Structure 1
């Protein structure tokens, strides 16, 4: 078995920060990966985009999952980094993932639901998250799961972005005849523009061809 990168969608009114983002529909929440992922630290850091931080903070004050918060720094217009402490009523998914030897790589809101990108050593470890969701009445869906063992062990020299684009394109049926997914749908899955998605596919395919089909003299040329 190989390690996996899974993308899941979870929804429940008591998942942390749900009340705040529901109150401020302009807000976009993403995790700050460089701040660490230790669920026992007591503080959690997120990058917040909002057209009205006063409204967002009004939502925080009425969000029963948030015990304390602080706007640490405003990184640019309509964007700031906050630290949060959670209440006992908050449903927190990161300890569940950590207990299964996994890591939440990214978390962002999709209106009142949450999209989580999770690394786990085994695909079967996802059952721990599903068990927690069932016990706590959390709606959860697996959007996609990528196994990196195949492409990850080649000498193709793919970047992480090229590898992800190729895997998502394969899983969504972009390479089928006829295609089951358009370039626009693929770009939306990757959360990038269509030209960027097209470029990742072209460069990734070129690297795979160079690595797999050409001999050493042709590679040098």
Structure 2
């Protein structure tokens, strides 16, 4: 099996947080993939950069895709981590990617558009995302796609423990939105502590991202 790492650009006014970043043009939004979200809470975490958080939060209050929100922690003057609850009007592509047996490695905004870096087991799995985009009038462009070291059969720089943790998390639904498994459940399946499981997932995901970016750089050269 040849895994695929794809980078896509999508745009639609109802993709989560689009109205917010349009209101605060200084805002940069990135997903926090390692956040241990309770699948029943409906809360999703993002790392936000903004020159004016009061303006950013004014945009949140106007955004039809956002329900409740909370500034969880400020990591520095211009950066903070927020939790959000989505409304029924929000278009959530990460759940579509999960349905296609994929994993969202990164998500960040580019103006009103969004850049998704995703892993899927086969190129044909991308069809699910394109079908969803066409059904909901979402503009979608494939920026690049690369063959990816198989999560199941090659290491991509992963340790055996990191690979096992990622596979267990994928199979139990930990990467889905909303999550079908908690971090503690993944840890129980691995028979390790919750902090140890969190560390393996965090380092393993980082290793996959670094591996894919190195591949891109090599290909460019």
TM over 0.5: yes
Number of the residue aligned with 2:140: 140
Instruction: Give the direction of change, closer, same or farther, for the CA distance of 1:34–1:163 in structure 2 (3 Å limit).
Output: closer
1:109 maps to 2:109: yes
C-alpha separation between the residues in 2 aligned to 1:24 and 1:107? 18
- Structure 1 residue 93 and structure 2 residue 93: aligned? yes
**Partner in structure 1 of residue 181 of structure 2:** none
CA distance in 2, matches of 1:155, 1:128: 25
2-structure distance, mates of 1:85, 1:155: 34
Cα 1:61–1:75 change in 2 (3 A) is same
**Structure-1 separation of matches of 2:134 and 2:214:** 32
How much has 1:167 moved relative to structure 2? 2.7
Provide the rounded CA distance (Å) in 2 between the counterparts of 1:38 and 1:3: 28
Q: Is the 8 A contact 2:17 2:65 kept in 1?
A: yes
Answer yes or no: is the 8 Å Cα contact 2:16–2:86 preserved in 1: yes
Distance 1:4 1:37 in 2: 26
3-state secondary structure, aligned to 1:34: coil
Cα RMSD (Å) of the superposition? 2.5
CA contact (8 A) 1:37 1:104 kept: no
Q: 1:45 aligns to what?
A: 45
| Matched residues, number | 171
Measure, in 2, the Cα distance between the counterparts of 1:155 and 1:52. Answer: 39
How many angstroms does 1:149 deviate by? 3.6
Displacement after TM superposition at 1:8 (Å):
0.7
Provide the C-alpha distance between the structure 2 equivalents of 1:94 and 1:38, rounded to a whole number of angstroms. Answer: 16
Taking structure 1 as reference, are residues 20 and 161 closer, same or farther at Cα in structure 2, changes over 3 Å only? closer
- What pairs up with 1:62-81 in 2 under 5 angstroms? 62-81=62-81
Secondary structure of the 1:35 match is coil
TM-score w.r.t. length of structure 1: 0.70
Distance in 1 (alpha carbons) for counterparts of 2:5 and 2:75: 29
> How do 1:175-190 residues align onto structure 2 when only pairs under 5 Å count?
none
Match of 1:19 in 2: 19
- How many Å separate the matches in 2 of 1:69 and 1:141? 30
Mark the CA change 1:38 to 1:98 in structure 2 (over 3 Å): closer, same or farther: farther
Deviation at 1:34, TM superposition (A): 1.3
Work out the CA distance in 2 between the residues paired with 1:154 and 1:73: 35
CA shift digits 1:57-85 (9 cap, x unpaired) = 00000000001100011011110000000
- Distance 1:73-1:161 versus aligned 2 partners, 3 A rule: closer
Return 5+ residue gaps in structure 2 as ranges: 159-206
